[in-house]
Amino acid sequence: MRSKLNLPADRVAYARALAERITAPVQDFIDGHSSVTVERATLRLAGADGATPDGVPVPNLVVDSIRAADPAALEDGATVRYVNALIKSGGAVRALNDRIAAGFDVMSLPLGDRAAIEAKAEELVAGTLARVKENRGFRERKLEQWKGRNNSPLLYLIVATGNIYEDVKQAAAAAEQGADVIAVIRTTAQSLLDYVPFGATTEGFGGTYATQENFRIMRAALDEVGERQRRYIRLTNYASGLCMPEIAAMGAVERLDMMLNDSMYGILFRDINMYRTFVDQKFSRMINAYAGVIINTGEDNYLTTSDAFEKAYTVLASQFLNERFGFQAGLEARFQGLGHAFEMDPTIKNGFLYELSQAQMAREIFPEHPLKYMPPTKFMSGDIFKGVAMNTLFNFVSKATDQGIHLLGMLTEAIHTPFMMDRFLAVDNARYVMNSMDGFYDDIEFKADGIVVSRAHQVLKETIEFMEHVEKVGMFDSIEQGLFAEVKRPKDGGKGFEGLVRKGPAYYNPFESGLKRELGLAR
C-alpha cells in the first residue's frame, strides 16, 4: 500500500514494538489464570446447555457446584468434573444436562480414570471444532459465491427492539434496504450479568438479550434474506462484558460473523475488573479466531469521555495494543475491526481535515484490517438537517479513506431509537455518497506540508510518547491512573473480580489446548 501521508515506517514499527512490550506482562498474567466464564464457555463447547425452571443455566450450575464443594477444585478446570459425570452417567450429553438442571451435582461423583476423562473430552473437542469449521466454510463459500454483491465499505445497521421476533422484522427490512451487516444491540446492562440467559426472549430495554437461541433465530432470518438478495448478510452481536468467552462460543456455534470484543471497553465504561476481563478476552478471541469471526474494538468510546482532537493519540495507541492482543490470541489482521470514530467538535475550524487525517492514518498503519468506523454521536443534536450534513461528511471520509466496516449515522440519533425509515435514509445517503466518489481513494493525494499530513505525523509522535509512558508505568497501573479515556479503575476493584481463577498444576482445558493447537499458538 503506497503511503499518502509519508509516515515514517521505522516509527510505526517502533510503536508496534512498544505494544508488544506493554502487553507481554499482561499476557503472562493471562496465561496463569482462568475465570468462571472461561470455564463455563468450555462447558458450553463440550455440550453443556439448558437451564433450570428458574432460568439458571447448566454451565453456571456446574461451575457453582464445583466452587461450593471445594473452592480450589476449579483450579483444575471445570471440564474434568463435567466429563467425569458424562462418562459415569452413560455418555449422553443431553441426558446429563437434564439431570443437572433437575438438581444433580457433578461433585457427588468420585473422579474416575483421568486418561479416560481426557480421551472423552478430546472427542467432544473434535466434534465442536468440526461444527465451527463447517460454519466458517459455509460463510466463506457464500462470500465467494456472491463476491462483489456487498457494499464497500460494509454498511452496518443496528436493531434494538427487545423482542427477538420484532428484531427479525427490522433486520430483514434493513437488509432488504441495502445493509450488509446487522447488529442486534444487547439489552441494557447485559454486559454486567455473570450468566447468559437461556432461550428466545421477547422483553428487553434498549436492546435484546444475547442468547444462543436468539442467535439461531436471527441467523436463519438473515440467511433467508441473503438467499433472496444473493448477498451474504453478516450478523453481529456483543461479546464484551462478564461473559465474553461464553458469548463468543455461542456465536461460533451459531455462525455469527462479527462480535464486539474489547476488554478495555468493559474496564473503562462498564467497570469490569481488569484482570478478569483480560483473561476472558484472550479465550474469547481464540474462539473468534478459529471461527473466522471479525472482532470489533471500542476505541470510538474513548472519544465520548475525551476530546477527539486533544486525545487522538489514545485511540491510535489502543489500536496498536488491541492489534497485539489480537495477534496473541491467533487473530489475523483481516479479522481485526479496529475501532475509531468521526467525533470532532463540529465547531473546530478544519475539523473535517483532522477527521480525514485520522482516518487515513488508521488505514495506512493498519492496511490489512477491516477498520470499524463510527459515526458522529457526541455532538449530534435534535436538528435532523444538521445531523444529515454531519453524517454526509462522515460518509465521505469513510469512502475517501477506504474504511472496512461503516456504522451508519442516523439523522434521529439524538432524538429517539431510529425508525425503519430513518435507517433507509441512512443507507440511501451512504450509497449515494459512496457511489458518486467510488474512485476517490485512488485519485486523491495530500499536500506534503498540509494540514492532513502534518496532523497525522503529530498524532503518531504523540502516540509513541504516550506508549513509552505506558510501558514505564505498566498497563494495569496506566488504567488505574486514568491514562485511557480519562477514566480511572482500581486494579482489585470492578465487577467480576471474584470470578478470577488461578490455574493449578493439574489444570485441564481441552478447548484451550485444542484452539492453541489449531491456531498455531501452542508453546
- Written as nine digits, the cell of 199 is 432461550
Q: Which of 282, 311, 372, 399 is catalytic?
A: 372
Alpha carbon separation from 232 to 65, 383, 427, 491 (Å, rounded): 42, 35, 17, 42
Answer positive or negative: Cα dihedral of 138, 142, 144, 145: positive
CA separation for the pair 190, 31 (Å, rounded): 27
Q: Which of 82, 265, 290, 508 is catalytic?
A: 265
Is 372 part of the annotated catalytic residue set?
yes
Contact criterion met (CB below 8 Å) for 294 and 337: yes
Tell me the pairing of strands 339-341 and 336-337.
unpaired
Is 443 part of the annotated catalytic residue set?
no
Contact criterion met (CB below 8 Å) for 474 and 29: no
Distance of CA 169 to the CA centre of its chain: 24
Amino acid at 342: F
**Angle at 72 (CA atoms; ends 67, 75), nearest 5 degrees:** 95
Contact criterion met (CB below 8 Å) for 74 and 67: yes
Is 265 part of the annotated catalytic residue set?
yes
DSSP state of 505: T
List the one residue out of 40, 43, 36, 41 whose CA is nearest residue 84: 43
Alpha carbon separation from 64 to 47, 68, 325 (Å, rounded): 17, 6, 30
Q: Which of 300, 302, 378, 402 is catalytic?
A: 300
DSSP state of 155: E
Amino acid at 489: R
Positions of E strands within 176-254? 181-184, 234-238
Write out the catalytic residue numbers.
265, 300, 372
